[in-house]
């Protein structure tokens, strides 16, 4: 059975490249072995939304997180995404492993986020190798 990975990362108030660039790179690597669930494919951060209400979208996200096998969260400097924090917390509360993708090794991450995550990476390639080794069983 193919394992599912959920991609969490800020979307609201972000430019197109900020939302999609890392997600496309993640899908190129992780999609080789895993089914990748990307909320940006459902929630159109750029353009017209594909959902009727915020409640519909939020509930879809939480269900998707609860049904995944692994969560990958992109956290940038100055991180302040309530949605990503909620997704990480949902995964943590459901004992779903969380891999954190950061911009640099010395990037500060809020202690709550840091402590909920299993491991931190600065490249999607390294994260992919780790996920393949430890979660593709």
Tell me the pLDDT tens digit for each residue of 19-32. Answer: 778 989 999 989 89
Summarised one tens digit per residue, pLDDT across range 74-108 is: 998 767 788 999 999 999 999 999 999 999 989 98
Long-range own/partner contacts, residues 85-93 (CB < 8 A, 24 or more apart): 85/113, 86/61, 86/62, 87/6, 87/8, 87/61, 87/62, 88/8, 88/113, 88/116, 88/117, 89/116, 90/62, 90/65, 90/66, 91/6, 91/8, 91/65, 91/116, 92/116
* CA distance linking residue 94 with residue 19, whole number of Å: 26
Per-residue pLDDT at 114: 92
Q: Taken in order 54, 79, 26, 62, is the CA torsion positive or negative?
A: negative
- Hey, what domains does the chain have and what are their CATH numbers? 1-27+36-99 (3.40.50.450)
Given pLDDT bands bounded at 50, 70 and 90, which one contains residue 52? Answer: confident
- The fraction of the chain above a pLDDT of 90, given in percent, is 59
The confidence band for 136, taking pLDDT boundaries of 50, 70 and 90, is confident
């Amino acid at each position: 059975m193919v394992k599912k990975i959920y991609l969490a990362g800020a979307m609201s108030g972000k430019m197109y490249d900020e939302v999609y660039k890392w997600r496309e790179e993640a899908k190129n690597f992780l999609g080789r072995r895993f089914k990748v669930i990307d909320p940006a494919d459902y929630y159109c951060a750029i353009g017209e939304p594909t959902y009727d209400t915020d409640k519909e979208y939020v509930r879809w996200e939480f269900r998707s997180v609860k049904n995944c096998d692994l969560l990958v969260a992109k956290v940038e400097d100055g991180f302040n995404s309530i949605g990503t924090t909620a997704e990480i917390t949902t995964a943590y509360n459901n004992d779903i492993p969380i891999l954190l993708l950061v911009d640099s090794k010395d990037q500060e991450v809020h202690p709550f986020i840091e402590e909920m995550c299993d491991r931190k990476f600065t490249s999607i390639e390294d994260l992919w190798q780790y996920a393949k080794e430890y979660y593709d069983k």
